[in-house]
Amino acid sequence: MDEHRIRVRNNHIGIAAHFALVVARSNIIWHGGDGKLGYGDSAIFSPLGQPIAEAGLFTEALLAADVLPHLKPSRWRRREELRPAIINAWHAAALAGISRTP
């Protein structure tokens, strides 16, 4: 189970860093009778893959983070050309929504 948790977490970190995106992951805390387990470990990762908010294992928490500083382009690279078109569309919509806030 821990191997799976680490692989999934690393995938989310990799997606954030590779595509220069803010990635939020969430997971429930749950124990099923069939041996399945939800272990929590929710987090928000910066475009560099660094955690900017974390709940921790088996911890219920409402995560919030100011992602606006992380949405501006990196000084040394932009990865928009690598993103799938739908992600670019979501990113553009997020930036447009932020620019309209008072």
Total tally of structural domains belonging to the chain: 1
Residue range of the domain that includes 25: 2-99
Q: What is the pLDDT of residues 19-39, one digit of tens each?
A: 788 899 988 777 777 767 677
What is the DSSP code string of 55-98? Answer: --BT---------HHHHSPPSS---GGGS-HHHHHHHHHHHHHH
CB neighbours (10 Å) of residue 68? 12
Specify whether the CB–CB gap between 70 and 34 falls below 8 A.
no
pTM above 0.75, yes or no: no
Give the pLDDT score at 80.
Answer: 61
Q: Three-state SS for 28?
A: coil
In tens, the pLDDT along 56-84 reads 888 888 888 887 776 665 554 556 666 67
Q: Within 13 A of 63's CA, how many CA atoms are on the CB side?
A: 21
